[in-house]
Structure 1
Amino acid sequence: MNTIDQKTKKQTRHLDAVVVGAGQAGLAAAYHLKRQGANVLVVDGNARTGDNWRSHWDSLRLYSPAVHDDLPGLPFPADPHSFPTRDEVADYLETYAATFDLPVRHSSPVRRLSRENDAFVVECPDVRYTADNVIVATGTFGRSPKIPAFGADLDPQIVQLHSSEYRNPDQLRPGRVLVVGASHSGADIAIEVVRSHETVLCGRDTGALPVRPGTRRFRLVFPLVWQMWGLVQTIRTPIGRRMKAQVRAHGAPLLRVTSADLTAAGVERVTERMIGAQGGNPVVGTQQLPGIANVIWCTGSRRDDSWIDLPVIGDDGWPREERGVVPTMPGLYFTGVAFQYSFRSMLIGGAGADAEYVVNHLLSRRSERDALPAPAA
């Protein structure tokens, strides 16, 4: 039912559920909700489904093979052993939404999420939604780049790009490149950039997969790794809880490029961290690095939940959720969060199961509410 809010003069529409974000997690949640007959809408700030993936660097490929990159109900249309490209993933998400006729409203960023009386209020630029439930599916880590404050002390002639801004080496000046942050994105970018620029990669060693992706051995071992990621490295086990803290704070292990690959390609690997700038030059550990013409910050992103006007974000910047359920705010959920349940949670292949758990909780809550006796007259 559509009404006009007298205070804001915006059109208001009430729904069973609003999903914020049309990435893999949001689409998987909408799929499960629609199958159960819920009146659901997905709102997304991008102009097109998949645009979040299209904004990554040009050569990005998934770190898991296509056989493990499905969303519920639709296999990934690629060789099962291939590693889909950025654009293949974006197109798959667009096809997924169209295949299941998922209700996605594009170019509709959410400005504020609040609560009035018994309903959540989702404020978009030109419309106001009220909902019994809201599922926040805005991404694994968020889109607010983490760049150290001392980046401002670098020589202004140095080109500085965050990994979210990097597309390809054509953006760089001639001269040495310093890639800051040695998780999988830093390693992938460093091994690409070194083909045209002398490259230094600095940051702690995050570890790596024990087998090389794409090899015969990888095909034999990866199904076991996948099971370990989903059954052992979870919030239910001590090893999983330790890994959750590590992944959220420092990033994931190298998933495609190994230390040996970096060395063979000519990348200078420094395991100390960049700690500041001196005379306009980067300082890594105790060493000043002169002659750096470009810095690529692969230092991750922080969640930006400032638009959520509800007391559900912890002091660590992460939502206070338990497997996506917010105990203190019934009807509010998060999905697509790093280590929501397991290591798989930040991969496309883990989005469907996490979303299904959240939706099942939402539906059971609705069933319990509907079963309550009507208030006495």
Structure 2
Amino acid sequence: MLTLLAPARHSSLPGLPFPGDPDHYPHCDEVVDYLRRYAARLDADIRTRHRVTTVARDGDGFTVRAGNGATFAAPAVIAATGGFSRPHRPALPGLGRFTGTVLHSAEYRTPEPFAGQRVIVVGAGNSAVQIAAELAAHATVTVATRALVRFAPQRPLGRDVHFWSAAHFWSAAVGSDHLPIGHLLRTKPASPVVDAGVCRAAIVAGRPDQRRMFTHVEGNTGHWTDGRTDEADTIIFATGFRPNVSYLDGTGALKDGQPRQSRGLSTTVPGLGYAGLEWQRRFASATLRGVEGDAAYVVTRLATTMSPVRRRCCQPIG
């Protein structure tokens, strides 16, 4: 089962500590339960089943429309759909004709349905390696990467990496997790896998094995750079996500589908902010720990740009 990279003590939102041992790494079901309880405690008008379809400028404010017909007027908008809403699946030669099953890590739940299969997991990050290591107890698994998987210790000097990242003396400025830990974790071509040693031991043992990315697929067969071929039942892409902010199309806020922003504030649309983007302000920006500081920063900056008349809650129209 997938777990958070940060321990419970670094995964709490304001006003509600994450339950359990503060040093344990919560699994996905714990996170869902925690977020549901947090939402229930908020004194906020939370509208579910209101998927936003368009955001448009309206004078010095915005009109927001949802797919169910609801329309809202707002002096400012914060796009908080984050950077993990749209699974990214790269186009690879022959993939469209692959006769097996193709999944994204967003669709992966448990290893049991893959028992006895030949599985290729594409990716070199934490999700790819965690999924591959878990699957290897049930299936024959290969991790396919463009560069060799690299590892970073999860608890250097006995403390979780998020402790060091949050420590003030690691920061170039207050609230900035960029130096030096942040840049070490953001190196190219791929960030290292933060690991307590379990996944690294699995790859060293060859379960799963690791190979450079296959060149193409024919039918159900993957062709590798060294000339080998392997039949595969399933290919799982753990190749990341892209922000799902298509509702901002037409506002001038996007370039090639990506937000044009600096530290969570739109550089092209006054009154527009973001929350939850990867590296929005720091290493932790897209995590439960980091979103609190980023949200406070964006709200404060947006408030300073609004007149007292505009500082009102968004209002339904009609």
Give yes or no for TM over 0.5: yes
Give 2:116's aligned residue.
174
Residues 228, 98 of structure 1: CA spacing in aligned structure 2 closer, same or farther, 3 A cutoff? same
Give 1:67's aligned residue.
9
Q: Distance in 2 between matches of 1:370 and 1:130?
A: 11
Residue number among 158, 162, 165 corresponding to 1:218 in the alignment: 158
Deviation sequence 1:60-104 (CA, Å, 0-9, x none) = 211111111111222112211001111111111121122232221
Q: Distance in 2 between matches of 1:358 and 1:184?
A: 29
Deviation sequence 1:87-124 (CA, Å, 0-9, x none) = 11111112112223222100110111111222211111
Residue number among 328, 332, 335 corresponding to 2:272 in the alignment: 332
Q: Distance in 1 between matches of 2:289 and 2:161?
A: 17
Give 2:34's aligned residue.
92
Q: How does 1:292-311 map to 2 (within 5 A)?
A: 292-309=232-249, 310-311=251-252
Residues 181, 93 of structure 1: CA spacing in aligned structure 2 closer, same or farther, 3 A cutoff? same
Give 1:129's aligned residue.
72
Q: Distance in 2 between matches of 1:230 and 1:136?
A: 29
Q: Secondary structure at the match of 2:265?
A: coil
Residues 140, 230 of structure 1: CA spacing in aligned structure 2 closer, same or farther, 3 A cutoff? farther
Contact 2:165 2:177 in 1 (8 A): no
AA aligned opposite 2:83: T
Q: Distance in 2 between matches of 1:151 and 1:212?
A: 41
Contact 1:324 1:334 in 2 (8 A): yes
More deviation in 236-245 or 273-282? 236-245
Q: Distance in 1 between matches of 2:271 and 2:167?
A: 31
Q: Distance in 2 between matches of 1:176 and 1:150?
A: 20
User: Cα distance, 1:277 vs. partner?
Assistant: 1.7
Contact 2:214 2:223 in 1 (8 A): yes
Q: Distance in 2 between matches of 1:63 and 1:180?
A: 20
Give 1:290's aligned residue.
230
Q: Secondary structure at the match of 1:104?
A: coil
Give 2:134's aligned residue.
192
2:50 paired with 1:117? no
Contact 2:81 2:243 in 1 (8 A): no
Residues 93, 356 of structure 1: CA spacing in aligned structure 2 closer, same or farther, 3 A cutoff? same
Give 2:302's aligned residue.
362
Contact 1:147 1:162 in 2 (8 A): no
Which blocks of at least 5 consecutive residues in structure 1 are unaligned? 1-58, 372-377
Give 1:50's aligned residue.
none
Give 1:76's aligned residue.
18
2:170 paired with 1:263? no
Structure with the larger helix share: 1
Q: Secondary structure at the match of 2:15?
A: coil
Contact 2:166 2:177 in 1 (8 A): no
Contact 1:324 1:335 in 2 (8 A): yes
TM-score scaled by structure 1? Answer: 0.72
Contact 2:83 2:242 in 1 (8 A): no
Which blocks of at least 5 consecutive residues in structure 2 are unaligned? 312-318
User: Cα distance, 1:303 vs. partner?
Assistant: 2.5
Q: Secondary structure at the match of 1:282?
A: strand
Contact 1:229 1:343 in 2 (8 A): no
Q: Distance in 2 between matches of 1:280 and 1:174?
A: 16
User: Cα distance, 1:280 vs. partner?
Assistant: 4.1
Contact 2:12 2:18 in 1 (8 A): yes
Give 1:44's aligned residue.
none
AA aligned opposite 1:253: P
Q: Secondary structure at the match of 2:83?
A: coil
Residues 117, 154 of structure 1: CA spacing in aligned structure 2 closer, same or farther, 3 A cutoff? same
Q: How does 1:158-173 map to 2 (within 5 A)?
A: 158-172=100-114
Residues 106, 210 of structure 1: CA spacing in aligned structure 2 closer, same or farther, 3 A cutoff? same
Residues 106, 169 of structure 1: CA spacing in aligned structure 2 closer, same or farther, 3 A cutoff? same
TM-score scaled by structure 2? Answer: 0.84
Cα RMSD of the aligned pairs, angstroms, is: 3.0
Does 1 or 2 have the higher relative contact order (CA < 8 Å, sep 6+)?
Answer: 2
Residues 175, 278 of structure 1: CA spacing in aligned structure 2 closer, same or farther, 3 A cutoff? same
Residue number among 81, 90, 93 corresponding to 1:150 in the alignment: 93
User: Cα distance, 1:347 vs. partner?
Assistant: 1.6
Contact 1:159 1:172 in 2 (8 A): no
Q: Distance in 1 between matches of 2:168 and 2:232?
A: 41
Q: Distance in 2 between matches of 1:361 and 1:88?
A: 33
User: Cα distance, 1:314 vs. partner?
Assistant: 2.1
Contact 1:209 1:253 in 2 (8 A): yes
AA aligned opposite 1:198: T
User: Cα distance, 1:299 vs. partner?
Assistant: 1.4
AA aligned opposite 1:296: I
Contact 1:338 1:345 in 2 (8 A): yes
Contact 1:70 1:348 in 2 (8 A): yes
